[in-house]
Structure 1
Amino acid sequence: MSMTDLISITNIGPATAKSLTAAGIPDAETLRALGADEAYRALIGNGERPHFIGYYVLHMALQGRPWNDCRGKEKVDLRLRFDALVADCRKKPGAGELPHALLEALDLIGLAPAPPR
């Protein structure tokens, strides 16, 4: 079965396609099956820095709409979903924690972060 290139979707350019592929989303069919929220979760999980515009552009892309078509209540609602998704990604085990080896190295030079209170 032939899969469709990600850049065949409106608003998905080469850079976004490369990021999606690196996050395990190799084609348009996979992206459509996942949906914008899970695809964006995969991007964050792969190290992408969360950015609201990228999130809503992905939503618009999957609806076949221009990226700048998101306005008003729709944009406010998407912002709430984005914030919740980012917060959820950050509370995963290990999220926001320094790797053990880095903590040990910082401790050796006297720069280890203070333990949580």
Structure 2
Amino acid sequence: MTDPVSSIRNLGPASDASFARAGIHSADELRELGADEAYRRLLAAGSRPHFIGYYAMVMGLQGRPWNDCKGKEKSELRARFDALKAEASANTPSEDKMEAILDEIGIPRQSGV
């Protein structure tokens, strides 16, 4: 039996479903992919970018508590996160970008359109 993604420190039960949508079904798969590739897959699968979620995963993969990330290390992780987010945005079709903008400003989608 394989350990679920949520067996990694800082990752809760909701992580299992998010990572499964990205094709990552076990803690071993996540460790093998590494933080950046796993996060790329999460974003490609539709997860919203969230810096704390990203660095909590990075810290968890190192066996550290999420709030252990500080100073220069946190700044460097922020730069990596921003690069991953920009890469994902560049790979998103323009229709999806428009939907994301409408969601962000609170305009509901019209059904059947």
- Same fold per TM (> 0.5)? yes
Q: Which residue of 2 aligns with 1:53?
A: 52
**Quick one: which amino acid aligns to residue 98 of structure 1?**
E
Cα deviation per residue 1:25-49 (whole Å; 9 max; x = unaligned)? 0001100000111111111001011
List runs of 5+ in structure 2 lacking aligned partners: 100-113
Q: Which residue of 1 aligns with 2:94?
A: 97
Give distance in 2, aligned partners of 1:57 and 1:66: 7
Q: Which residue of 2 aligns with 1:80?
A: 79
List runs of 5+ in structure 1 lacking aligned partners: 103-117
Kindly report structure 1 stretches of 4+ aligned residues shifted beyond 6 Å: none
Give distance in 1, aligned partners of 2:62 and 2:2: 19
SS in 2 for 1:61: helix
SS in 1 for 2:84: helix
Give distance in 2, aligned partners of 1:8 and 1:16: 10
**Quick one: which amino acid aligns to residue 11 of structure 2?**
I
Identity %: 55
What TM-score results when the alignment is normalised by the length of structure 1?
Answer: 0.78
Q: Which residue of 2 aligns with 1:110?
A: none
Give distance in 1, aligned partners of 2:37 and 2:47: 14
Cα deviation per residue 1:45-72 (whole Å; 9 max; x = unaligned)? 0101101001100100100000110000
1:16: how far off?
A: 1.3
What TM-score results when the alignment is normalised by the length of structure 2?
Answer: 0.81
Larger radius of gyration: 1
User: More helix per residue: 1 or 2?
Assistant: 2
Give distance in 2, aligned partners of 1:40 and 1:34: 9
